[in-house]
Chains A and B, each alone.
Chain A
Amino acid sequence: MIRFDRVTFGYGLSAPLLRDFSLELPSGRRICLMAPSGRGKTTVLRLLLGLERPRRGSVTRPDGIRFSTVFQEDRLLPWKTVTENAALFSDKETACRILTQLGLGDSLDALPKTLSGGMKRRAALGRALAHPFDALVLDEALTGLDPAARAQCLRAINDAVGPRTLVMSSHSEDDAAALDAQIITL
């Protein structure tokens, strides 16, 4: 169980972005955070991943939980190929299989700088799906993808998550519906 207990958080000395935010997320649940930009979706995900500490309240996660993440930015290592990036936290075989499933079969040996924006998103998603995880965290992971690539990615996410936990942020209710994720509005 992942639990946000009356969490208050703000960056630096600025006014709190989240006030007394609480959320209980039993293992295996799928949720999608929805809100206009700047309302704290990414912040909730960063708190969940332990990248930020709440000013007040607490975030508890199961001991030893393994996260896989796609950030808003692609965060690919520029000196590594697509396959090497995807296999950074897993094995090459799994990485290649998932990248091919995501439609990057022809770009396995390409460097990130040679890829289009959409291809970079898929490479970052491939890295996250190839890693053995307990919870998948997606921060607007499908932004900038064309409809065909989006559908391909949604299928791959669905297959990879299976009975595990999914926490995502998105502006698309269709994406949430395709992944059977409960919408939580901030």
Chain B
Amino acid sequence: MTISITVRKTLANGAAVLFWVVVWQLAAMAANRTLLLPIPTPADTLCALARMAVKPDFWLTVGMSLLRICAGFALAFAAGALGAAASAQWSLFRRLAAPPIQLIRSIPVAVFTIVVFLWVSRPYIPSVIVFLTVLPIVWDGVENGLENADRQLSEMARTFGMGRWEILRRITLPGIRPHVAAAVTTALGFAWKSGIAAEVICRTEGSLGDLLWSGKASVSYDEVFALTVVIVACSTLLQRLSAIGRERGGHDTF
């Protein structure tokens, strides 16, 4: 019964993707009849992807972009979680931290990238940008979770003699888990968008962003589309892995 539901769900998702691929094909065919610049069809994109995929350097580039984005994400997650925990604990820290976090939240990626460009060497810029994009999302998620955490549950555990760390591990963290999970899902999406944008703006060598720039410069739009497919696939893969990790972890292990 469970298998049939899973299969049905996968088929339905696949059908939805197929529907949009058909729409893309029809739109490309219609546009290519009227526009000067051809729009790559799904088949053109697939061919471009196949051309790039056989080059070993291509996968190294994908890996490096992935590494930069994941590094920025991991650092932002650690800093955001610690910062939010400190903020929930000490009101003075919360007051002091609020203005910079608000500033980071409001400044667009492009502005950040240009400013960071002045002080950080080019290969590290995407990680810094991802860090700055993800930090407020994780911060808000954890802070929200802690604010909404059921203090009555912690109080109950205390009266039964449960220690502080055990309360944190067994009551508080599982309680804020849904908030953090939602923040991680959102942050992963933004990490990819901002990381690739930073790679494009500062033309990081050996990156997907740089390949996108080169594709645009050489008017190889089939390659630009193929790279976009790779970026979407990587982002989806990371989000799926994070969801699987959460499901396997259960509620007790954070």
Contacts and interface: CB of A to CB of B under 8 A. Distances in A.
Interface string A34-53: 00000000000000011100
B161 A66 contact: yes
Interface string B236-254: 0000000000000001000
B92 to A, nearest CB: 21
Given A77-B171, A79-B174, A79-B251, A68 B152 contact: no
Contacts of A89: 160-162
Given A73-B152, A75-B153, A67 B159 contact: yes
B97 interface: no
B104 to A, nearest CB: 32
B156 interface: yes
A131 B153 contact: no
A169 interface: no
Contacts of B205: none
Contact of A49 (B150, B159, B170, B174): B159
Interface of B: prevailing SS: helix
A75 B160 CA distance: 12
B147 interface: no
Given A66-B161, A89-B161, A89-B162, A75 B251 contact: no
Contacts of B162: 89
Nearest to B162: A89
A139 to B, nearest CB: 11
Given A77-B171, A89-B162, A69 B156 contact: yes
A69 B160 contact: yes
A180 B152 CA distance: 30
Given A75-B153, A77-B153, A69 B159 contact: yes
Interface string A130-170: 01000001000000000000000000000000000000000
Nearest to B170: A88
B155 interface: yes
B161 A75 contact: no
A68 B160 contact: yes
A71 interface: yes
Contacts of A51: 155, 158-159
A132 to B, nearest CB: 10
Contacts of B158: 51
Give the interface centre of B155, B156, B158, B162 by most chain A CB atoms within 10 Å: B156
Contacts of A131: 160
A89 B153 CA distance: 13
A131 B161 CA distance: 10
B152 A71 contact: yes
Contact of B160 (A67, A73, A80): A67
Contacts of B156: 69, 71, 75
Nearest to A133: B160
Contacts of B152: 71, 73, 75
Contacts of A50: 159
Nearest to B156: A75
Contacts of B170: 88
A51 B154 CA distance: 11
A88 B160 contact: yes
Q: Which 8 pairs across A and B sit closest by C-beta, in order of nearness?
A: A79-B251, A75-B156, A89-B160, A69-B159, A49-B159, A75-B152, A67-B159, A75-B153
Given A51-B159, A69-B160, 20 more contacts: A50-B159, A51-B158, A66-B161, A67-B160, A68-B160, A69-B156, A69-B159, A71-B152, A71-B156, A75-B153, A77-B153, A77-B171, A77-B174, A79-B174, A79-B251, A80-B251, A89-B160, A89-B161, A131-B160, A137-B159
6 contacts: A49-B159, A50-B159, A66-B161, A69-B160, A73-B152, A77-B171
Interface of A: 49-51, 66-69, 71, 73, 75, 77, 79-80, 88-89, 131, 137
